């Protein structure tokens, strides 16, 4: 229960852990809890058959659907450098080229990844794989992510994620590349494989595991219920994910997300995303494919953690320990709370 700092070997940064602070009262901002919408929302720009902001009509898709983001942050550059590129010892810039897409996970407006079947989840994994491989032929870094819930700035409750691909290595993967490379040079083993092995030995930060994957609250977690999803075998990227590994991924993704929803019996908000081998890098045995889940909620469906003050200016800080967070996620049921049948009551997800 004593304050201490923990080191994040993936980024080379420290986090302050102060477990004794969990008892303090909260009279601040509370988040609203969204109600569950209809299966098809005529005002949703992602539902099948609806018109998007740019006037285009979505097809009548049945599983997943991918389209170019109408407001892409990264766009293919026209010509060399496109007029940018200041270079002096103080201020620097570089031209960037890329593309952004939106991935609808399902035609059903009110379905989240947490409540999808294993087959539906596998379709999303296939979409992630296809996008990574396709965009990786052209771009150096392909970032897959999902922002879920208003608390994470998501603009639309239709189940969807995004993919941003660009011709440069962004900050977070650049840090991870450096750390994983240095660890591999020293130990001839991928850092995240060593980490997965260590976690299986102790078990106290594990949330769920199967033959191919382990989901855990990392030793160095910053967000209260942060989760890191790691493969148990050498696996650098989606291009190497096949057969049983893919099925096992669908299985463990569902366990993580069901536990998240069950924790506060709410549709749990988060930002999640994938990091894997940068494109066009043949010789990089230090990389392991992994997913980060960063949920903002702290004590209930309505009280979130703020990254402010000391966290912005000094070190990020957490109250409950990663071990306590993992124990809570392990303790909740592995069956989604909305499918738990109350005797005599109609199924809450019918229709």
Stretch that binds Zn ion, among 71-79, 141-149, 150-158, 277-285 (CB under 5 A): 150-158
Question: Would you count residue 43 as binding ligand H2U (CB under 6 A)?
Answer: no
Active site residue 160: yes
For β-strands 227-231 and 270-275, DSSP reports them as: unpaired
- 198-204's contacts with Cβ under 8 Å and 24+ in sequence apart are 199/230, 200/232, 204/323, 204/326, 204/327
Q: Which helix (H) or strand (E) holds 147?
A: strand 141-148
Q: C-beta of 53: minimal distance to ligand H2U in Å?
A: 3
Residue the block writes with tokens 């201020």: 91
Q: Is 154 in the site for ligand H2U (CB under 6 A)?
A: yes
Q: Which of residues 176-235 bind Zn ion (CB under 5 A)?
A: none
Interface with ligand H2U, residue 53, by CB under 6 A: yes
Q: How many residues bind ligand H2U (CB under 6 A)?
A: 13
Q: Which of 11, 18, 63, 69 lies at the binding interface for ligand H2U (CB under 6 A)?
A: 69
Q: Cα–Cα–Cα angle for 243, 247, 250, nearest 5°? A: 145
Residue 147 is a binding residue for ligand H2U (CB under 6 A):
yes
* Residue whose CB is less far from ligand H2U, 107 or 245: 107
Question: For the chain, what is the largest distance between any 2 Cα atoms, rounded to a whole number of angstroms?
Answer: 72
Closest CA to 195 of 205, 186, 185: 205
CB atoms within 10 A of CB 42: 9
Select from Zn ion, ligand H2U, none the partner in contact with residue 206, using the beta carbon and a kind-dependent cut-off of 5 to 8 Å.
none
Backbone angles phi, psi at 270, to 5 degrees: -170, 165
Catalytic residue among 139, 158, 160, 275: 160
Q: Which does 35 bind (CB under 5 to 8 A by kind): Zn ion, ligand H2U, none?
A: none
Residues near Zn ion (CB under 5 A), total: 6
Residue with tokens 């083993």: 189
- The yes or no reply on residue 50 touching ligand H2U (CB under 6 A) is no
* Chain contacts with Zn ion (rule: CB under 5 A): 41, 44, 46-47, 109, 158
């Amino acid at each position: 229960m004593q304050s201490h700092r923990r080191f994040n070997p993936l980024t080379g940064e420290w986090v302050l852990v102060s477990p004794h602070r969990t008892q303090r009262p909260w009279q601040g901002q509370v988040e609203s809890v969204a109600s569950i919408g209809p299966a098809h929302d005529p005002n949703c720009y992602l539902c099948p058959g609806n018109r998007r902001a740019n006037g285009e009509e979505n097809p009548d898709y049945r599983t997943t659907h991918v389209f170019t983001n109408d407001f892409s942050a990264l766009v293919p550059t026209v010509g060399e450098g496109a007029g940018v590129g200041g270079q002096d010892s103080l201020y620097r810039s570089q031209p960037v080229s890329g593309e952004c897409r939106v991935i609808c996970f399902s035609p059903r407006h009110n379905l989240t990844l947490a409540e999808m079947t294993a087959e539906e989840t596998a379709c999303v994994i296939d979409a992630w794989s296809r996008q990574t491989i396709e965009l990786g032929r052209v771009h150096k870094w392909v970032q897959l992510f999902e922002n879920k819930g208003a608390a994470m700035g998501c603009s639309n409750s239709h189940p969807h994620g995004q993919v941003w691909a660009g011709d440069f290595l962004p900050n977070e993967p650049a840090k991870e590349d450096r750390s994983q490379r240095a660890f591999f040079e020293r130990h001839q083993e991928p850092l995240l494989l060593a980490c997965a092995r260590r976690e299986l030995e102790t078990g106290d930060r594990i949330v769920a595991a199967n033959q191919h994957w382990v989901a855990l609250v990392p030793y160095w977690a910053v967000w209260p219920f942060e989760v890191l999803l790691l493969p148990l075998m050498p696996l650098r990227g989606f291009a190497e994910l096949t057969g049983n590994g893919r099925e096992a991924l669908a299985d463990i993704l569902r366990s993580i997300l069901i536990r998240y929803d069950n924790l506060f019996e709410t549709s749990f908000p988060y930002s999640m995303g994938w990091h894997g081998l940068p494109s066009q890098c043949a010789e990089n045995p230090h990389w392991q494919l992994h997913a980060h889940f960063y949920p903002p909620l702290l004590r209930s469906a309505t009280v979130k953690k703020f990254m402010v003050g000391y966290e912005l200016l000094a070190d990020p800080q957490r109250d409950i320990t990663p071990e306590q967070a993992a124990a809570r996620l392990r303790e909740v049921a592995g069956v989604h709370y909305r499918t738990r049948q109350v005797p005599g009551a109609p199924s809450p997800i019918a229709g």
